[in-house]
Amino acid sequence: MHLIVGLGNPGEKYAHTRHNVGFDVLTLLSEKLSIPITRHRFQSLVGEGLYHGEKVVLCKPQTYMNLSGEAVQQLMQWYKLPMENLLVVYDDIDLAPGWIRIRKNGSAGTHNGMRSIISSIGSNAFPRIRVGIGGCPPSFALADWVTSHYNTPQERQDAFDAYLIAADAAVEWLQNGLQSAMNQFNTKKPKLPKQSLETVASAELPRAASPSAAATEPASNTSTTQRIDS
């Protein structure tokens, strides 16, 4: 059995904001797995179903972000799940918009929802999918930035594309395990083309002429220079 938790804030005010990445990914995952998330249980909206014969629980905590751990702890205790069978999906301001990072464990970073979960269940040894929303612009307070909506059609499309990838990564985790999901879906940093790297490696810096070479330079060079100048 597996539990997948998407973090967000309940209510229309926060729907589809940057901080509600987890809710939006879970909505897409619900469609992919044909598991409706409609049941109210343990301070959450919950959906239960089967995937390849194994039970899967999808969860959107309704506690507001900073208390997400209360809901997750109750679900973990009820289903008696080991830590490795919990997957949490959430937004990350330390990743570029649309980037995906899947990890086996780790700290909460700056995310209050993850801080609440780690504190409530007493461990950070569980998998997570982080979806990048980009850093906070200087003109925003952090709380205002993460609860803001995407401004342009392109931003909304980029976010939706990232949510689809995150949902596919969750399915891969269910089907083939964490390492396979990491290998397939972690965003790769761009690299310099091979030719450019070889060019840089083989380039030679210009060498300064030695004083002795300058002193023994043939006189004919001086005369040639004089003819050109004239």
Q: Which residues pair with 87 in a beta bridge?
A: 4
Give the containing element (helix H, strand E) for 3.
strand 2-6
Q: CB-based burial of residue 227 (10 Å sphere; 0-12 exposed, 13-18 middle, 19+ buried)?
A: exposed
Residue 61 phi, psi (nearest 5): -60, 140
Residue with tokens 């987890």: 22
User: What is the tens place of the pLDDT at every residue in 150-177?
Assistant: 999 999 999 999 999 999 999 999 999 9
**Residue 65 gets which letter from DSSP?**
G
Query: Which pLDDT score, from 0 to 100, does residue 64 have?
Result: 94
* CA angle (182, 31, 48) in 5-degree steps: 85
The band of 190, judged by pLDDT with boundaries at 50, 70 and 90, is: low
State the average pLDDT over residues 47-61: 96
Please report, as a single letter, which amino acid is at residue 198: E
Q: Catalytic one among 2, 16, 19, 111? A: 19
The band of 110, judged by pLDDT with boundaries at 50, 70 and 90, is: confident
Query: Which pLDDT score, from 0 to 100, does residue 228 have?
Result: 33
Res 210 pLDDT > 80: no
Q: Domain 2-185: state its class.
A: alpha beta
Res 126 pLDDT > 50: yes
Query: Which pLDDT score, from 0 to 100, does residue 188 have?
Result: 73
In this structure, how many other beta carbons lie within 10 angstroms of the beta carbon of residue 195?
8
Query: Which pLDDT score, from 0 to 100, does residue 109 have?
Result: 87
State the average pLDDT over residues 65-87: 96
In this structure, how many other beta carbons lie within 10 angstroms of the beta carbon of residue 18?
22
State the average pLDDT over residues 108-113: 91
In this structure, how many other beta carbons lie within 10 angstroms of the beta carbon of residue 127?
24
Tokens of 95: 């990743």
Query: Which pLDDT score, from 0 to 100, does residue 194 have?
Result: 55
State the average pLDDT over residues 14-21: 96
Alpha carbon distance, N-terminus to C-terminus of the chain: 91
In sequence order, what are the residues at sequence separation of 6 or more whose Cβ sits closer than 8 angstroms to the Cβ of residue 36?
Answer: 30, 47
Has 52 been annotated as catalytic? no
Query: Which pLDDT score, from 0 to 100, does residue 191 have?
Result: 53
The band of 200, judged by pLDDT with boundaries at 50, 70 and 90, is: very low
State the average pLDDT over residues 99-106: 95
pTM for this structure? 0.81
Please report, as a single letter, which amino acid is at residue 48: E
The mean of the pLDDT values for the chain is: 86
